[in-house]
Amino acid sequence: MRLAGRVAIVTGGGRGLGRAMALRFASEGAAVTVTGTSREQLEAAAAEIVAAGGRSLAVVADVASEPAVAGMVAATVRAFGRLDILVNNAGIAGPTAPVAEAACADWERTLAVNLTGAFLCSKLAIPHLIAQKSGRVINITSVAGRIGYAMRSAYAASKWGLIGLTRSLALELGPHGVTVNAIAPGAVRGERIGNVVRDRAAALGRTPADIEREFFVEPTALKRMLGPEEIAATALFLASDEAGGITGETLGVTAGFRL
C-alpha cells in the first residue's frame, strides 16, 4: 500500500490510461478523484474503485476552464481533506493534417486541453501541496514531445510544452518538498491510438494495419505497443516515496521507440 492515506487527482480518469492510473493508485491505498468530461465514464471508474474497497470521487470538469478546475480541486479537498498527488493526464489527439491545412480552432483547442489544462490544474493544486510541504505532480506527455511529428503538429507542440512546464515547475516547487516529473509514453493500445491510426491512414490513403505497423510498432525495440498498465506502473513509482529524489525529469516508457 505505497499510497496509503494519500489523495490523488487523475485528470482524464474515466477511460484508457487515466482510468488505469486511477485504479492502480486506488489499489495502493490512495483516495482518487477522477475528472473529465464524460460523466458516465467517470462514474463507472469511481464505482469500480469503490467496489474494490477504495475511495473515489467523480467530478465532471473541462481542464481548459479555470472555474471548472477550481471546483474540481475544491471538491477533492472537501471530500478527502487534503491533496497529495496530481496527474495531468487529460488530453486530446488534435487534428491530423499538415500545418498549412489545419484549422486554427483545432490547434487552439488542442493546446487548451493538453497544455493549458495542465497549467491550470497545477496552478490550483499547488497551494495545497505547498501547505503540507510535500506532494507529487506527474504530467503525461508523449514520445511526440521529443520528436518532430508530421501531420500532428498541434499534439506534438502541446507535448513539447508539457516537458518545459515540468522542468519549470520542478524548480519552483522543489524548495517546498514537491516533485514534478513527466512520463513520455509511446503508443498505448486503446481507443485513442486506434483513432489516430485510422485518421492517419485516411489522410495518407493507406490501410490502418500498415500505419500501425510502420509508425507505431516497427520503430520500437520490443516490436509492440504498450498496455495502459505499463504506464500506470511508472506513474505509481513517481507518486511513491521511492521516487522522492527524482524531479524535473521526463521518463520515457516507449517499448524502445527509436527517437
**CB neighbours (10 Å) of residue 233?**
14
209 vs 213: CA distance, rounded Å: 6
- Residue 149 among the catalytic residues: no
pLDDT bracket for residue 169 (50, 70, 90): very high
Report domain extents, the chain: 7-187+227-253, 189-225
pLDDT above 90: percentage of residues in the chain: 97
Core vs surface per residue 6-37: b (16+ CB within 10 A) or e: bbbbbbbbbbbbbbbbbbbbbbbebbbbbbbb
Crossing angle (nearest 10°) for helices 16-27 and 228-239: 50
* Position 259 pLDDT exceeds 80: no
Q: Which fold has domain 7-187+227-253?
A: Rossmann fold (3.40.50)
Q: What phi, psi does 252 have (nearest 5°)? A: -80, 130
2 vs 5: CA distance, rounded Å: 9
- Summarised one tens digit per residue, pLDDT across range 30-42 is 999 999 999 999 9
pLDDT above 70: percentage of residues in the chain: 100
Which of 109-113, 148-152, 170-174 is the least confident region?
Answer: 148-152
Which of 12-16, 126-130, 159-163, 194-198 is the least confident region?
Answer: 194-198
pLDDT number for residue 258: 86
Q: Which of 107, 155, 160, 216 is catalytic?
A: 155
* Average pLDDT along the chain: 97
Core vs surface per residue 196-214: b (16+ CB within 10 A) or e: bbebbbeeeeeeeeebbee
